[in-house]
């Protein structure tokens, strides 16, 4: 319940103040979101009434259904199991609305104490209410399989929720006695949730001295894409200096959360350190292992090869780590206005499907997007689904760079997916992370291909292809390296507390392996850069979902390019399914199978093909 995470964009994934990032007038009018569709304000009668209703309904739900589910499973109608799940679904919607409003308000300005209080108070209230609801899934899973299947057979409402019921029962081997689960839930407020908030609020106060100018994280990271090598180096050293000054705090947070997870995993009988994430993603460990192995095997053909080519283009024997995302000399330096970005994305979406473009357009027309860079705002980007009775919201930090246009396309893909899946209701709309990246990466690909098709100039085409390859390496290679880093950290933490130096060593080992010999990682403080990645804090082992989604979409896009009529209908059916089907069922209509070891090779071959095209352009 309330498993609605904020999906931070992979490229600038962090929380930070944005000091020093002045808005450029050439960007045009940037929209700020209107959260009134959730609640008018945190002091509004509507918000207070929702809290009161949530309290009343949660207590009434516990009174009505606790210790009665086995009996309900033998009935239908308003006394049947389906009715109980229907009531639970309605509660999930109202509690999700409260959580979403508090979270989105907080991330609008994490530096505002009033927003922090709202966020903390809402989390505490929802945890208290959760104690009245915790019994439901635990008690439901104690009912015999035969009784559950009979309930689905005799009760049409239970049959409607059959995908959710059967999905829930996958958690049965890992659930504990009710009181222990309640203790885990309530203690999370002073455990994992508290350290998550400590990370967020620490990041929100960090500033970086770049050549005498004080900047926030977003603006400083942006300078790593500067065309000026000296500016890139200054930004990289400023990042390292501030990270190093705060490294003890980040080390404490990392050690605490890794130990907290180990305790939870041990009690819940998870064998592998990532098994709880695999279960949440409804993906088999063997599938993820095959993905990771395929990507690691491809490092020399992808990142090592590409970065060697890029070093040559930049006139270097080796690039420093701060040169990794440097623009090529061929890269246009023009600022892309918000209106131009909007038209670019909607046009690309519309060429694929007018319906898809129509949904995306709604985000612009109804102020569902928050675009400006401002102090205290969470940087990077995310799409948050909120609840089916409302609509998703998108956060970006738009600065007019080509990558910002791709980020907008990515997050709107999430938004379209969330709108379409909302028809499944609060309990069944959420898509496992492995498939949640499908629409976002597909949206990026549509936008990239549309722009590439319009580009006839050889130099501009080379710059576009190079940027896309870099984005795909960041999505696939870098995220699997992140996953391997997390595995090393959580494994080593079982043997005792880790020092900052030890975490840095683990970080440098996976970075060197994944980036290859063309990039020099020494001498600039890069060993501290693990500290700002929020996925490690908020969602351990989340990161492989990006690589999963990118490789999946590469294969899916190849099907689209060769497909006859009907691809769009199959694609929309995939998105509308939400969390009601396993990835094997969703991919079958496209002739794809993620459990096939060759599947990942197909996805990776598309990246290799783009590198081949770059190499051919270079020789032409």
In the Cβ-directed half-sphere of 378, how many Cα atoms lie within 13 Å?
A: 30
User: For the chain, first and last CA: distance in Å?
Assistant: 56
pLDDT of 305 reads: 97
Residue 271 predicted with pLDDT over 80: yes
Each residue's pLDDT tens digit, 6-50: 443 433 333 333 334 445 778 999 999 999 999 999 999 999 999
pLDDT of 12 reads: 33
Each residue's pLDDT tens digit, 351-410: 999 999 999 999 999 999 999 988 888 878 999 999 999 999 999 999 888 889 999 999
The percent of residues in the chain predicted with pLDDT above 70, rounded, is 96
CA distance readout (Å), 551 to 171, 304, 413, 426, 478: 27, 18, 16, 28, 13
Q: What is the CA radius of gyration of the chain?
A: 24
Q: Collapsing DSSP states into helix, strand and coil, what is residue 154?
A: helix
Domain spanning 37-175: CATH superfamily: Oligopeptidase f, N-terminal domain (1.20.140.70)
Q: Collapsing DSSP states into helix, strand and coil, what is residue 331?
A: coil
Each residue's pLDDT tens digit, 318-335: 999 999 999 988 777 778
Higher pLDDT, 450 or 597: 450
CA-angle at 197, arms to 196 and 200, nearest 5°: 90
Q: Collapsing DSSP states into helix, strand and coil, what is residue 369?
A: strand
């Amino acid at each position: 319940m309330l498993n609605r995470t904020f999906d931070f964009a992979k490229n600038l994934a962090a929380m930070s103040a944005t000091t020093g990032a002045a808005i450029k007038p050439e960007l045009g009018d940037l929209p700020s979101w209107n959260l009134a569709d959730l609640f008018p304000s945190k002091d509004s009668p509507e918000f207070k009434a929702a809290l009161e209703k949530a309290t009343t309904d949660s207590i009434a739900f516990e009174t009505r259904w606790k210790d009665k589910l086995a009996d309900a499973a033998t009935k239908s109608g308003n006394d049947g199991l389906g009715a109980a799940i229907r009531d639970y679904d309605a509660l999930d919607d109202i509690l999700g609305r409260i959580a979403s409003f508090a979270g989105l308000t907080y991330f609008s300005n994490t530096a505002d104490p009033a927003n922090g209080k709202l966020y903390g108070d809402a989390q505490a209230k929802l945890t208290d209410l959760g104690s009245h609801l915790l019994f439901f899934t635990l008690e439901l899973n104690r009912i015999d399989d035969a009784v559950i299947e009979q309930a689905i057979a005799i009760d049409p409402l239970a049959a409607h929720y059959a995908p959710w019921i059967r999905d829930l029962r996958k958690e049965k081997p890992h659930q504990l006695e009710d009181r222990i689960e309640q203790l885990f839930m309530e203690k999370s407020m002073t455990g994992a949730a508290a350290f998550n908030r400590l990370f967020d609020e620490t990041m929100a106060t960090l500033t970086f001295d770049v050549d005498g100018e004080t900047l926030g994280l977003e603006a400083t990271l942006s300078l790593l894409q500067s065309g000026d090598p000296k500016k890139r180096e200054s930004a990289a050293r400023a990042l390292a200096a501030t990270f190093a000054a705060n490294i003890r705090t980040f080390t404490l947070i990392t050690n605490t959360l890794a130990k907290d997870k180990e305790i939870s995993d041990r009690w819940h009988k998870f064998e592998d350190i990532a098994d709880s994430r695999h279960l949440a993603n409804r993906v088999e460990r063997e599938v993820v292992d095959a993905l990771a192995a395929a990507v690691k095997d491809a490092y020399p053909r992808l990142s090592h090869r590409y970065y060697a080519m890029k070093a040559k283009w930049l006139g270097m024997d080796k690039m420093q780590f701060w040169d990794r995302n440097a623009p090529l000399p061929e890269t246009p330096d023009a600022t892309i206005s918000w209106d131009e970005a909007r038209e670019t994305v909607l046009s690309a979406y519309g060429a694929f499907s007018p319906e898809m473009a129509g949904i995306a357009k709604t985000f612009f027309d109804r102020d569902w997007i928050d675009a400006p860079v401002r102090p205290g705002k969470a940087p990077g980007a995310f799409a948050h689904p909120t609840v089916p009775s409302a609509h998703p919201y998108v956060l970006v930090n738009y600065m007019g760079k080509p990558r910002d246009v791709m980020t907008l396309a990515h997050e709107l893909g999430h938004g379209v997916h969330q709108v379409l899946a909302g028809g499944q209701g609060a309990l069944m709309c959420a898509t496992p992370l492995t498939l949640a990246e499908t629409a976002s990466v597909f949206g990026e690909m549509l936008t990239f291909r549309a722009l590439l098709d319009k580009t006839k100039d050889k130099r501009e085409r080379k710059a576009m292809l190079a940027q896309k390859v870099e984005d795909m390496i960041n999505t696939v290679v870098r995220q699997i390296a992140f996953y391997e880093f997390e595995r090393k950290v959580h494994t080593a933490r079982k043997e005792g507390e880790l020092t900052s130096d030890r975490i840095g060593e683990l970080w440098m080992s996976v970075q060197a392996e994944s980036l290859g010999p063309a990039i020099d990682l020494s001498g600039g403080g890069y060993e501290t850069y693990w500290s700002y990645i929020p996925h490690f804090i908020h969602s351990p082992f989340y990161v492989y979902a990006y690589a999963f989604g990118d490789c999946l979409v590469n294969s899916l896009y190849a099907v689209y390019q060769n497909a006859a009529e009907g691809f769009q209908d199959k694609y929309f059916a995939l998105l509308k399914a939400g969390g009601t089907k396993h990835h094997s069922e969703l991919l079958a209509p496209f002739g794809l199978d993620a459990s096939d070891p060759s599947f990942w090779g197909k996805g990776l071959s598309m990246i290799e093909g783009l590198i081949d095209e770059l190499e051919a352009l270079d020789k032409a």
